[in-house]
Structure 1
Amino acid sequence: MSSLTETAGGRAPQGPAAAAVLPSPGKAGDRVFLGLSTGAAWLIMVILAGVAIFLIIQAAPAIAANWATNTQIKDPTAGNTVGFANIWTYVGPLIFGTIWASFLALLFGAPVALGIALFISHYAPRRMAGILGYVIDLLAAVPSVVFGLWGLYTMRQFLIPFNRFAAENLSWLPFFHGTASAAGGTILAGAIVLAVMILPIMTSISREIFLQTPQLHEEAALALGATRWEMIRLAVFPYARSGVISAVLLGLGRALGETMAIAMIVSPKFIYSFVMIGDDNPGTIAANIALQFGGSNGLQRQALIATGLALFVISFAVNFVARWIVARSAPGTRRTKAPKTKEVAA
């Protein structure tokens, strides 16, 4: 009798031939999952390309316009018509302010984030490390407007005495030159709030990288008589260098796109200035769009979209560099040179 039963009535094959006729449920599930994951990956690429195309199309009229004679372009902070030679006169100060505020945020936040990550991974007791790591991760769930309110009503007032002290005693430095802000709406206050906002992402990534250091490396350093700090300096930091750099760059990407906190704290102007304690502060792209987009129209709105295109390019470049560093630090990607051998005469 044949191993296959009659299938005309819908009966399934039986016997050893069933494995050759019916597809494996596991393989079918793998194919479905592969299709879904591949489609999701391509969907992300399509969305990213769509955003880029939208920004380019909407920003093209403002980029090609003659700003020197057009009266539709207005200075959003001063409220008067200004004559621009080209769009870079409008975008340039905003790009400078965005990079300057983000750089200050990294300068203040990166050392603190690395110190917290190192304390959690190598110094704190296990129970305290778990609680502290959980609290740091909770900072990422706090809305930007809450940080903005904290900076507006707390940090600005807290820094006013320091602004006066710096203006009186440290004015020989270009960062503290000029008159101190009486209201506290300085780029320094905004940068400190940004530093707190980017702490979670930098701390979490750095902590995980520190914990992935091979235990044999740490034990070997301690066995050779190194102190805990010497072990960290000689074993942990070299292993985690690429991961820490990528964490800092991802924090920079978060700082570049921050909107509400800077918009609520800093008093912006279209200027280039490194002064951190005065009222004349460069604005940022994201904050300028948030403040002015609702009341803009025509060419002015297209100019704001053009600034958004500039921010898109900067953020994309920063994240691309970060992912490239992460990829290079992955296991199996580091190349080691073969040791040179010397020929020994017979």
Structure 2
Amino acid sequence: MVALSQERVVSRMTSSVRRSTQPNFDRLFRWASLGSALLVLLVLAGIIGAMIYGGWPAFREFGFGFITSSVWNVNEDQYGAWVAIVGTLSTALIALVIGVPLSLGIAIFLTQFCPPWLKRPVATVIELLAAVPSIIYGMWGLFVFAPLFAQYIQVPVSSVVEGMPIVGTILYARTPSGVGVLTAGIILSFMIIPFIASITRDILDQIPSVLRESAYGIGCTTWEVVRNVLLPQAGVSIIGAIMLGLGRALGETMAVTFVIGNANRLSGSIFDPGSTIASRIANEFNEAIGLQLNALMALGCILFLVTFVVLVLARLLISRVKTA
């Protein structure tokens, strides 16, 4: 009886200590979580503030013309962002056009057709592509891909389309050196494939197998299962993966700097050299002073704005898919 009463006393004391300390731990955990979230917001606000502060003299000097102008003359302190904006959007669009179908094809192959013994090695190789530094992609693109691209793509295509309306303008290379907007877009597509493919594969794997089996049970083909069951179920997550890849494509610096040609001119041909916001900042920031430095900071503000607009559009698209 004495031992039993002692156990009851110990049990009551333990429960009392737990009740007294639990609110303190909960409160500490809540404040730590809040502090983590606020820290990220403060860092982001600091970055935005620094970019706006640094770029404001350029916006004040050139006004809205800074965005619409194609002039970038360091000697005369005349700067315009339009060429870099067009190059950024063009290379990102090309990367999505090439990378998204390949990524979806890889994810569908790994989840629907790939033999079990081959699935793990292929998935591992795809994920390892995300660990390759961007400068390696750039060096490979400049020294290996660009010469082959010029010899086997640019020269033959240019000889065929020369003089054609529209197509001859878009696909004609004046100087087939291998570098240009299309080359940068192709390299970017290789860089975003691991992100989109890995996320899409994981989402497709998480779809309940009963949905697939039910579709096959009523006579659906594999294409019908993928088109009418898997993709609608994973639609929101796939859009998120594509937006993640687009963010990588918009902000990529070193790889694009190597292969885009870094020419400050607008051209109707995707074979011709161009520039992006990130590549221009990387090329000139180290030696920039005065208004040139302010113009580069203003370019950073524009890149942030473009990324923010893309994020907002992605959120709107995801919300429409959820309500559909």
Q: Match for 1:166 among 121, 144, 157?
A: 157
Taking the aligned partners of 1:156 and 1:286, their CA distance within structure 2 comes to 20
Which residue identity is paired with 1:176? L
CA distance 1:324–1:214, change in 2 (3 Å): farther
Deviates more, 1:15-24 or 1:58-67: 15-24
CA distance 1:132–1:27, change in 2 (3 Å): farther
Which residue identity is paired with 1:242? V
Aligned partner of 1:133 in structure 2 is 123
Which residue identity is paired with 1:201? F
Aligned partner of 2:171 in structure 1 is 176
Which residue identity is paired with 1:213? I
Deviation readout 1:81-128 (Å, 9 max, x if unpaired) = 3646xxxxx111111110001101111111111100111111112231
Q: Match for 2:302 among 284, 299, 310?
A: 310
Aligned partner of 1:197 in structure 2 is 191
SS of 1:225's partner is coil
Name the structure with the higher helix share. 2
Which residue identity is paired with 2:158? A
1:43 has 2:39 as partner: yes
Does 1 or 2 have the higher relative contact order (CA < 8 Å, sep 6+)? 2
Deviation readout 1:264-317 (Å, 9 max, x if unpaired) = 112122223231223xx3310001000000111011101000000100111123
Taking the aligned partners of 2:121 and 2:183, their CA distance within structure 1 comes to 28
Deviation readout 1:199-228 (Å, 9 max, x if unpaired) = 111111111221222322211110011122
Normalised by the length of structure 1, the TM-score is 0.81
Q: Which runs of 5+ in 1 are unaligned?
A: 1-12, 68-73, 85-89, 337-346
Say if 2:71 and 2:78, in contact at 8 Å, map to a contact too. no
Aligned partner of 1:255 in structure 2 is 249
Greater C-alpha Rg: 1
- Sequence identity percentage: 32
What is the root-mean-square deviation of aligned Cα atoms in Å? 2.5
Which residue identity is paired with 1:32? L
Which residue identity is paired with 1:31? R
Which residue identity is paired with 1:60? W
Say if 1:75 and 1:82, in contact at 8 Å, map to a contact too. no
Aligned residue pairs total: 305
CA distance 1:121–1:26, change in 2 (3 Å): farther
CA distance 1:274–1:213, change in 2 (3 Å): farther
SS of 2:185's partner is helix
SS of 2:286's partner is coil
Normalised by the length of structure 2, the TM-score is 0.86
- Which residues in structure 2 correspond to 1:53-68 (within 5 Å)? 53-66=49-62
Say if 1:250 and 1:319, in contact at 8 Å, map to a contact too. no
1:97 has 2:93 as partner: no
Taking the aligned partners of 1:212 and 1:323, their CA distance within structure 2 comes to 22
